[in-house]
Amino acid sequence: MAQRSPRNTMLHDSPYARMAIAIMSLLGLLDAAYLSLERLTGGQVACPVGGGCEVVQNSAYALFMGVPVAYIGVAGYAALLLVALLSLNLERVAGLALADLLLALGVVALLFGIYLSYLQVAVIGAICFWCVVAALLDLGICLAALAHWRAQRSQPH
């Protein structure tokens, strides 16, 4: 049996990946909430870089199966935030390993972000700053969830 060094043990037991997921999920939630609020009020989305935010937000692709993508983002980031916070104190809820759930949600978020990024570049022809921020957060969340999942898998049970 391989010995784990104290450094590896510290990394395996570290809550930092889950804390990072919680922080990135909160940022994603704020991003999606802003876009949702602008959609609800009919306001114009401020685009700090470029100018494609309004084009993307007013495109037919701003809806996914009839639901505004921003609303899906609010739900997704809220779920990620909740699971990340729960995972700081619990390993399982209702028999479900939270590391598995975090990874599954992270992968879904990343794949959805890739799909939306493809639509912006290849179909809509405009880039939304807030969407790029969300896609980068999705990547970070997925990588942190993978790190946490791998750490959980390597621990003796």
71-106, pLDDT tens digit by residue?
A: 999 999 999 999 999 999 999 898 899 999 999 999
**DSSP letters spanning 61-104:** GGEETTEEHHHHHHHHHHHHHHHHHHHTT-SEETTEEHHHHHHH
Asked, for residue 10, whether it belongs to a domain, the answer is no
Asked, for residue 102, whether it belongs to a domain, the answer is yes
Residue 12's pLDDT is what? 53
Q: What is the mean pLDDT of residues 117-130?
A: 97
Asked, for residue 24, whether it belongs to a domain, the answer is yes
15-58, pLDDT tens digit by residue?
A: 999 999 999 999 999 999 999 999 999 999 999 988 899 999 99
Asked, for residue 52, whether it belongs to a domain, the answer is no
Question: How many structural domains are present in the chain?
Answer: 1
Q: Which residues contact 115 (CB under 8 A, 6 or more apart)?
A: none
Asked, for residue 127, whether it belongs to a domain, the answer is yes
Asked, for residue 94, whether it belongs to a domain, the answer is yes
Q: Which residues contact 151 (CB under 8 A, 6 or more apart)?
A: 11, 12, 13, 14, 17
Q: Please determine, for residue 8, whether its predicted confidence score (pLDDT) is greater than 70.
A: no
Residue 13's pLDDT is what? 54
Q: Which domain holds residue 81?
A: 16-43+60-154
Distances in Å between the alpha carbon of 56 and those of 49, 126, 127, 128? Answer: 14, 6, 7, 6
CATH number for the domain that contains residue 30: 1.20.1440.130
One-letter amino acid at 155 equals: Q
Q: What is the pTM of this model?
A: 0.88
Q: Which of the two residues, 136 and 14, has the higher pLDDT score?
A: 136
Q: How many other C-beta atoms can be found within 10 angstroms of the C-beta atom of residue 144? A: 24
Q: Please determine, for residue 155, whether its predicted confidence score (pLDDT) is greater than 80.
A: no
| Nearest C-alpha neighbor of 133 from the set 63, 37, 49, 72 | 49
130: pLDDT confidence band, cut at 50, 70 and 90?
Answer: very high
Asked, for residue 2, whether it belongs to a domain, the answer is no
Asked, for residue 26, whether it belongs to a domain, the answer is yes
